[in-house]
Amino acid sequence: MSGRTKWKDVEHKASPERLAEARLELAEALTLAELRHAREMTQVQLANSLGATQPAVSRIEHQTDVYVSTIRSYIQALGGELEISARFGGTVVTINGFESLAEASEPHTAGV
C-alpha cells in the first residue's frame, strides 16, 4: 500500500471549506513542467525563449537544486514574474533582495 488516501475516500468526509482549501493548495503546487504545460508551451518553445536547447529545459525541469536566477529566467520566459516568500504558520513574508542580484549580474541559467 502506498500510504496515501484516495481523494474520493476523503472528499465526502471533509467540509466544503476544507475541500476548497485543499483544491487551492493543489492548484498552487505545480512543478516547473506542470507550470509550462499550464501555460501551453512546449520545451522547444520555452528553449527558444530562453536562447537554450530543449535538453537544457528538460534538465532544469528535472533538477532538484536550481539557481534562483535559472528559475527566474524560466518563469520570465513563460511570461511570469518570480516572487520568493517564506511561510511562518499563517504569516507569509516576501523575501526581497534577489531582484538586485539579477540587476548586478547576468542571470545564471545553469546550462541554459
Q: Is residue 106 part of a domain?
A: yes
Number of domains comprising the chain:
1
Q: Is residue 47 part of a domain?
A: yes
Q: How far apart, in whole angstroms, are the C-alpha atoms of residue 36 and residue 70?
A: 15
Q: Which domain holds residue 101?
A: 31-112
**What is the widest separation between alpha-carbon atoms in the chain?**
52
Provide the pLDDT for residue 110: 47
H or E segment at 45?
A: helix 43-50
- What's the residue count for the chain? 112
Q: Is residue 61 part of a domain?
A: yes
Provide the pLDDT for residue 15: 79
Tell me if 67 sits within 8 A of 108, measured CB to CB. yes
Write out pLDDT tens, residues 22-67. Answer: 777 666 678 899 999 989 999 999 999 999 999 999 999 999 899 9
Mean pLDDT over residues 68-76, rounded?
Answer: 94
Q: Is residue 104 part of a domain?
A: yes
Tell me if 60 sits within 8 A of 66, measured CB to CB. yes
Q: Is residue 2 part of a domain?
A: no
Q: Is residue 22 part of a domain?
A: no
**Which residues make Cβ contacts (< 8 Å) with residue 30, sequence separation at least 6?**
38
- SS3 of residue 63 by DSSP: coil
C-alpha cell at 99: 531582484
Q: Is residue 13 part of a domain?
A: no
Q: Is residue 24 part of a domain?
A: no
- Beta-ladder partners of 85: 94
Assign residue 111 the CATH number of its domain: 1.10.260.40
